[in-house]
Amino acid sequence: MTDSDELTGDQTDDQPPIRVLLVDDHALVRGGILRILAEEPGIEVVGEAEDGRGAVSTALELRPDVILMDLEMPGMSGIEATREIVQADAAIRVLMLTIYDQDEFLFEALEAGASGYLLKGASIDELVGAIRVVAGGEVHVAARMATKLVGDYLRRRQSGDTGDEYETLTARERELLPLLADEDTNEAIALRLGLSPLTVRTHRQRVMQKLNLHTKSELLKYALRRGLISLDE
């Protein structure tokens, strides 16, 4: 078996493989994931990095479709690396793979531009599925984290803190809201919809003002609660 065969595994004939970059400061973890993905059709591991700074430079050199990013690493964290990478190239999707299940890490990662958050205790099937979901432009959040979001929503309902601010949004603002919560930058949304970045920024400001939200993490959490962004468990 050649090195290329070992990395790519079987590939589908009708579409190019999903190109994945592995980032973790533990060589054993990277090696284990590499062996798993080598057996998956349509997925190709194109490189590895052992810290955040290496992740940034390697990602911008290789331009992978998906980065499996550890959260806590020496020097630059995975969250910091994610922020730099997606600001440089919004087409690169980052899937955080971590042991940390605290809410604050989830929202910090999503706010930095990550497209998913997976715990290291996940099954092989969930890992592979999450890679495919994120590569397809959607969001994947670990089931345990999704449960916390639902619990928070129910607590808000019981306290009466749900409001009906959504009804104040225009049809265009409702159409844009999932993108504003999910996409990384105004420029990325503008390019996708054929609008100017200034127009998108204006819509973002108006939506957040009407919903009484102040940060992107709050906007994302709002969209998740209302089911405007799907969670693939």
- At 128-179, the pLDDT tens digits run 999 999 999 888 888 777 776 566 556 655 655 555 577 777 777 888 888 8
Q: Are residues 116 and 69 in the same domain?
A: yes
Residue 154 lies in a domain: no
Q: Quick check: 7 pLDDT over 60?
A: no
Where does the chain show beta strands of DSSP type E? 18-23, 43-49, 66-69, 93-98, 116-119, 140-141
Q: Are residues 169 and 140 in the same domain?
A: no
Q: Which helix (H) or strand (E) holds 104?
A: helix 103-112
What is the per-residue pLDDT across 63-104, written as a single tens digit (0 to 9) for each? Answer: 999 999 999 888 888 999 999 999 899 899 999 999 988 877
Residue 173 lies in a domain: yes
Q: Are residues 133 and 26 in the same domain?
A: yes
For residues 32 and 124, give the distance between their C-alpha atoms in angstroms, rounded to a whole number. Answer: 11
Residue 156 lies in a domain: no
The residue ranking higher by pLDDT, 227 or 65, is 65
Q: Are residues 85 and 18 in the same domain?
A: yes
Q: Are 127 and 147 in contact (CB under 8 A)?
A: no
Q: Are residues 68 and 93 in the same domain?
A: yes
Q: Are residues 94 and 177 in the same domain?
A: no
Residue 77 lies in a domain: yes
What the block records as the tokens of 138 is: 């959607």
Residue 119 CB burial class (10 angstroms; 0-12, 13-18, ≥19):
middle
For residues 161 and 1, give the distance between their C-alpha atoms in angstroms, rounded to a whole number. Answer: 59
CATH number, domain containing residue 79: 3.40.50.2300
The pLDDT, as a whole number, for residue 154 is 63
Residue 231 lies in a domain: no
Enclosing domain of residue 103: 3-146
Compute φ and ψ for 141, nearest 5 degrees. Answer: -125, 135
Q: Are residues 58 and 27 in the same domain?
A: yes
The pLDDT, as a whole number, for residue 108 is 78
Q: Quick check: 43 pLDDT over 70?
A: yes
What is the per-residue pLDDT across 176-208, written as a single tens digit (0 to 9) for each? Answer: 888 888 876 888 888 888 888 878 888 888 888
